[in-house]
Amino acid sequence: WRGEGRRHAGRVEAPPTYAFCSLLFRGLESSVLRTYMLPLAAAALLSTAAVAWPDGSPAPKCGPKAARPITPTKTAAYEAAVARGSAVPSVLLCRPFDDGNVGAAARAMLNFGLSDLRLVDPTAHAQSDEAVLRASGAAPILRRCETHETAADAVADLQLVLATTARPRESRIPVYAPREAMALAAAAIARGERVGLMFGSEKNGLSNAELDAANAIVTIPTFPGFSSLNLAQAVLLVCYEWGAIAEGENQYEVARQAYDADEAAAEAEGGSGARAPLGQVDSLLRFWEERLWEANFFGGNRALHSQYGPEEGRAQERSRAAAAMAKLRRLVLRAQPSKGEASLLRGSLQALVVPKGGGRGAVEDGGGDSEREQEREG
C-alpha cells in the first residue's frame, strides 16, 4: 500500500482501501478475533503432529522442542552408541528425583557415545514430558533404561564401579580425579571388563550402602566450600573425561600400559583372567556371612546374654555383622579377584564347613587322634 499512497509534506498517506480495512478490523477485533480467530489458532497448535520414537511409536509431548521428530542424524548417533555395548561404561543414577535431571543426564551420555542408563530406586519418571524435553535427541535412552531396587542389584554384572561424590568417606577405597578414573575405566574395558559410573541423589548424594557397591571414588575438583554440582552437570563432566580418554592420547597411557603388563604377568603365573563381576563377589560374601552366623561367629551366646536383653542383643549382633562384612568386602575388592579366584575362595569356604570324604565326622575323628597323641606324649 505504501506504493499506492500519496506523499504530503514528507509523509505517506494510506490509500482509502487500507484505511477502510483498518477501521473495519478495529471494529471487529473485540468480537470476531476472540470468538473465531483465537480458538482456531489454539486448535491448530493442539493438532500438531506428535514426536515419534525411532521405532515409530508415539512419544510424550512437551512444548515445541519435544514435539519435534528426532532427526536422522541423532537417531544414527543413538544407534551407533547402542552398538558399542559394553565397550563403554554404564551410567547409574541412584535415587534421582528430578525428571529434568534424568533427561539432561541422558543427553550428556549420548554427547559422548554412552547409552546404558540404569536408575536405582528412582523418584523421577524417566519417560515424563519434562525428561523427554531435557533429553532432546537422546530421548530413546530414557525408554530403554533399566530400573533397579538397590545399587547392589544394579552393579551385579559389572566388574568396576566408580562412584562420584564430593565427600570421600573413611571407606578406605581409592579416590581418583575424573581423568585418572576414566583411564582406569578404559584399561578395565580393554581387558574385557564391564564398567559403571555411579552418581548420587540430588538431595544428599550417595549413601554408605551405595558407596559399598563401588570399587573406587571419583571426586570432581571444585571450589572449596561450594562443591555441590547439578546431577546432569556431574554426568556431563565425567562423560567428557571418558570421551577425552577414549578418543585421544592422554598422559595416563604409560600408566595403563604398565598396569596391563602387571596383569599379564599375574595371569602367566597362575592367575587371574577377567575380574569377577560384583554380583559374584556379593554372592560370595553372602555365603561367607551365612557360614559365620552358623558357626556363631556372629550371634550365639553374645546375643542371648546381652545386658540389654535378647532382642537388643540380636540387633547389636546384626550391626556388628554388617560392619564386619563391609570390611571383608573392601578387603576382597582391593584384591580384585578374578572369576576363578572368587570361585576358589567360595569352594574353600564350603570345604571348611562340610569337608569332602567323611563330612563333619572327619573333623571329629581327627580331633580324637590328636588328643590320643597328646596323651601318649604326656
Q: Which of 253-257, 308-312, 349-353 has the highest mean pLDDT?
A: 349-353
Chain segment 263-303, per-residue pLDDT in tens: 565 555 555 567 888 888 888 888 888 888 888 888 766 66
- The separation between CA 87 and the C-alpha centre of its own chain, rounded to angstroms, equals 16
pLDDT for 63 beyond 70: no
Q: Of 138, 152, 72, 154, give the one whose Cα is nearest residue 106.
A: 138
As a whole number of angstroms, the longest Cα–Cα distance in the chain is: 137
pLDDT of residue 348: 83
CA dihedral sign of residues 153, 123, 81, 220: negative
The 10s digit of each residue's pLDDT in 168-216 is: 656 577 899 999 999 999 989 988 899 999 999 998 899 988 998 899 9
Grid cell listed for 98 = 528430578
pLDDT in tens, 206-251: 998 899 889 999 999 998 888 889 999 999 999 999 998 876 544 3
pLDDT per position as a tens digit, 141-173: 999 999 999 999 999 999 999 999 986 656 577
The C-alpha angle 31, 35, 36, rounded to 5 degrees, equals 115
Residues 280-303 as b or e (16 or more Cβ within 10 Å = b): bbbebbeebbeebeeeeebbeeeb
Strand ranges (E), 72-188:
90-94, 117-120, 146-148, 160-164, 175-176
Average the pLDDT over 101-107 and give the result: 96
pLDDT reported for residue 336: 80
**Residue 19 pLDDT:** 56
Mean predicted lDDT score pLDDT of the chain: 76
Which residues partner with 337 through β-bridges? none
Q: What is the pLDDT of residue 98?
A: 95
